[in-house]
Structure 1
Amino acid sequence: MSTGHVDILNAALALSEGERAAIAFELLHSLKPPMALSEDDPALFEELDRRMDAYERDSSTAQDWKDVSSGVKQMLRDRRSP
């Protein structure tokens, strides 16, 4: 990062949590989304079919959403702690 970028980052980090969240939200929404699949994209249904076929072949790899959600939240908490 250039010196200007570092200065901006340091200034942003000095803001309150709410102000940082608002800036993060705006920055994230300014980015071009990744190759997301929309309902108009036939690839969406191909991907859903592929995943359903994989699940039906071996459902033992499936995880309950509560477990997945808890795991993701824990990973995010771990990343924030020093």
Structure 2
Amino acid sequence: MFYINEFESAFKEKILKKDLLIKIIDEISNIMKKFNGSEELLIIINENLNELFISMKEQDYMKFLDILKYELLPLIDSSF
């Protein structure tokens, strides 16, 4: 996910690119349309997505990146 690296780079420079947030969420949505994992894995991914959206709502973008990079993406990758 190219957008994650771009978002992280901008964030480190104290620049918030909300358009990249939208692209990241859109890309996750497109990936999940092709989901091929178990129901149990889907529940875990859903919980991580909820945490991801909460961090966005709270504008805690460091937490957003951590959840995305270290929890959500590895789970999604393991389902394909």
State the TM-score, normalizing by the size of structure 2.
Answer: 0.29
Pick 1 or 2: higher relative contact order, CA cutoff 8 A, min separation 6: 2
Higher Rg of the two aligned structures: 1
Task: Provide the TM-score with structure 1 as the length reference.
Answer: 0.29
Normalized per residue, which structure has more helix? 2
